[in-house]
Amino acid sequence: MRERRGSGLSVQEFCASLTEQHLKQGRDLHIFSCGHFKKNLGAMKRYNHSVAPIIRAEPTRGLIDEQVQLEVVHLVPSQRVTLQSKLLSEDADWWEAYGHYASDSEGIVRVTRDQSHGGTYMGQEPMGLIWSMKLAPGSRPGKRLRKKDVTIPYLVIVSVYDGWISNTFDKRAALASVVLERFYMAPGTTRLELQEGRTIGTMFFPPGPGPFPAVLDMWGGGGGLVEYRAALLASRGFATLALAYLGHKEVPPSLQSFDPKLSYFEEAFNTLNNHPKVSNDNIAILGLSLGFTLALMMAVELPNIHPKCLVCISGSHYHLLGQGKTDLPDFQLHSDKIIMTEDGAMIWRNIIFPFPDDQKFMVQVDKVQCPMMLISGQDDQNWPAPESAIEIQKIMKAAGKGHLLTSLSYPQTGHLIEPPYSPHVRESNFKVHSVNKTVNVLWGGETKPHADAQEDSWKRVLAFLGKHLVPQHSATIVQAKL
| Region of poorest pLDDT, from 25-34, 141-150, 370-379 | 25-34
pLDDT band at 332 (very low <50, low <70, confident <90, very high): low
Name the band, by pLDDT with cuts 50, 70 and 90, for residue 259: confident
Instruction: Provide the pLDDT for residue 251.
Output: 83
pLDDT bin (cut points 50, 70, 90) of residue 143 is: very high
- Mean pLDDT along residues 430-452: 91
Per-residue pLDDT reduced to its tens digit, 263-274: 999 999 999 999
pLDDT in tens, 52-103: 999 999 999 999 999 999 999 999 999 999 999 999 999 999 999 999 999 9
Confidence of residue 14 (pLDDT cuts 50, 70, 90): very low
19-36 burial by CB neighbour count: b if 16+ within 10 A, else e?
Answer: eeeeeeeeeebbbbeeeb
pTM given for the model: 0.88
Portion of the chain with pLDDT greater than 90, in percent: 73
- The yes-or-no verdict on residue 35 having pLDDT over 90 is no
Active-site annotation, residues: 289, 380, 415
Beta bridge partners of 343: none
Give 473's pLDDT tier (boundaries 50, 70, 90).
Answer: very low
Residue 319: what pLDDT? 85
Arithmetic mean of pLDDT, 29-34: 35
| pLDDT, averaged across the chain | 87
Q: What is the mean pLDDT of residues 16-32?
A: 41
Is the model more confident about 225 or about 10?
A: 225
pLDDT score of 34 = 36
pLDDT band at 48 (very low <50, low <70, confident <90, very high): very low
Question: What is the mean pLDDT of the segment spanning 382-410?
Answer: 97
Between residues 24 and 272, the one the model is more confident about: 272
In the prediction, which pLDDT does 38 show?
A: 38
pLDDT at 479: 46
| pLDDT at residue 171 is higher than 50 | yes
